[in-house]
Structure 1
């Protein structure tokens, strides 16, 4: 009985390298590309969190500090080629997972807590601000994708909304970085300025909380401004803000439909609803139905923030400062106009209601 020799071609895929005692090409690619990139992103993220302990940096969220740190690193030292795969992984996969985890911060009961009029104010403010920003951007000559990012960041939930919207709009990394920086700037102004305006405007705690939650950009900024005027104001502001976060899903779906309709091959285009949007809605529903321990909630919230920060650090690593300069002042003026509009529009509705 003769035995036929077995060659490498006779082995299943991936086993050739195992028999030879070496790693498979796929595993080697992971270790050579993804891991170094994630390590670099994690280092930038650590710098961002550490910088918050320094005097003058406590007002900024780790996300914006991570963007800045990533930009400084890439534009001064350069981004290593072998780290690009891991940076891309952080920018895409980690960000989408973080957005899903944001759903654990919201329940349907919390939305009901601000009442039908409160939900109406939040929804009307969101829609009007988005349309105003996109329209003004078109009139003053701001790139349509950048205008959409600024509109989403202003009207919904800051950096998180910009990241989620960009998955549909597919803008350049420099546009995302510009939008995050502009939104963070004016959100910080609102966080510091709105509590000072409350006595002048004659707003009680409920009204102020509703105004802050409906108009200030980032969740952390809303909490910071709301609780400066009392516990009731802080709680109302947080619920109103999380209601805006819940509206991230329908907004992304709407933008996806618009993008699909604008393509010549719309019939062959992918479904406009990214997987993470459906997962976000599912997590909100799950969080509304079951009781999750407070410690688990805190751990999930921290994980979501860290992953968002890592994703934005990755964007900073791929941002070119010269490209940012080329955008000029028009996008900044658009972000300022959007900030003024959302503050005035939401305040008007709060006063009327």
Structure 2
């Protein structure tokens, strides 16, 4: 009790904000994570309140990792097999190249390499969830929370626009159902927006687009593991200790294997999915409360332009490769 009691005020506050975000999302058909982030930023003064600070910190770190770990129950290795090796290879190349493009563009814009990795991973893999997972393993610095916030705001907004625009593009290009599904699932950032875009075309398109998207989500952990490996190699000759292997990654892999090799009841997987979504929603609210709005405004338009160019790169690459699948 002595451990959790000081954190209760902050946890209660972010939970209320998360519930408000879900309510607004249901009534205004916009991403819950975006509402949660904006509400959190609006209530950032609560972070200065000593009674709330500990709980907000706890939610932004531990609850975040818990929510990411539970994402493992949304994925099965059979999804990758069902999609086919050509499509899976295309998604791997698309994610890797988007991260590389992010790093190169960040250098051009005078932004940090870490920010390029963060935005490239968010655009290439699964939007806000990927941004939070990658941020969780990146080394701490004074701009880490700010960069995470900027990435989440940008990638969520672009994902909502893509949900509307990409089905129109697919129609103008006369893509068949399979190609449309791979295009939507392989390019739109967040899972919810992929579902919305896919089923707006047809039920078959929605099913295959969602499957394609889940394969991208499954690639989140390999990407995070590669980042950890690179960071440990960079620490080889440094005096500081290298980053440790996060337990939430182990939990993610274990849960994904359980979902792959055991026939889990739908009630279990659906409950885990709902709990994971709520944990991520309140975690974003906590990250928003930790933010400094003045710092966000000082950064300017470069991060948004970076995210936009990464998004265009990903969509263009998938469209160019579709005829070869």
In structure 1, what is the Cα distance between the partners aligned to 2:268 and 2:226?
32
Counterpart selection for 1:103 from 59, 62, 72: 72
CA contact (8 A) 2:7 2:52 kept: yes
Structure label with greater radius of gyration:
1
Per-residue CA deviation, residues 10-44 of structure 1 (Å, 9 max, x unaligned), is xxxxxxxxxxxxxxxxx44531x211110011011
The corresponding residue for 2:221 is 249
Q: Is 1:140 aligned to residue 109 of structure 2? A: yes
Per the normalisation by structure 2, the TM-score is 0.94
The corresponding residue for 2:295 is 323
In structure 2, what is the Cα distance between the partners aligned to 1:188 and 1:239?
19
Moved over 4 A (4+): 264-268
CA contact (8 A) 1:121 1:350 kept: no
1:12-91 matched pairs, under 5 angstroms: 27-28=1-2, 30-31=4-5, 33-54=6-27, 57-58=28-29, 60-75=30-45, 79-91=48-60
| 275-284 vs 83-92, greater mean Cα deviation | 275-284
The corresponding residue for 2:92 is 123
In structure 1, what is the Cα distance between the partners aligned to 2:14 and 2:87?
39
| 266-275 vs 94-103, greater mean Cα deviation | 266-275
In structure 2, what is the Cα distance between the partners aligned to 1:187 and 1:295?
29
CA spacing shift, 1:83–1:265, aligned 2, 3 Å: farther
In structure 1, what is the Cα distance between the partners aligned to 2:86 and 2:26?
40
Larger RCO: 1 or 2 (CA < 8 Å, sep 6+):
2
In structure 1, what is the Cα distance between the partners aligned to 2:2 and 2:276?
29
In structure 2, what is the Cα distance between the partners aligned to 1:272 and 1:308?
22
Q: RMSD over aligned Cα, in angstroms?
A: 1.7
Give the Å deviation of 1:267. Answer: 8.0
Gaps of 5+ in 2: none
The corresponding residue for 1:159 is 128
In structure 2, what is the Cα distance between the partners aligned to 1:297 and 1:129?
31
The corresponding residue for 1:22 is none
The corresponding residue for 1:303 is 275
CA spacing shift, 1:251–1:52, aligned 2, 3 Å: same
In structure 1, what is the Cα distance between the partners aligned to 2:166 and 2:87?
19
Gaps of 5+ in 1: 1-26
Counterpart selection for 1:149 from 118, 133, 146: 118
Per-residue CA deviation, residues 192-231 of structure 1 (Å, 9 max, x unaligned), is 1111111211111111111111111001111111111112
Counterpart selection for 2:159 from 187, 210, 228: 187
CA contact (8 A) 1:48 1:69 kept: yes
In structure 2, what is the Cα distance between the partners aligned to 1:262 and 1:225?
41
Per-residue CA deviation, residues 50-94 of structure 1 (Å, 9 max, x unaligned), is 21244xx31x2211111100100115x664211111111111111
The corresponding residue for 1:230 is 202
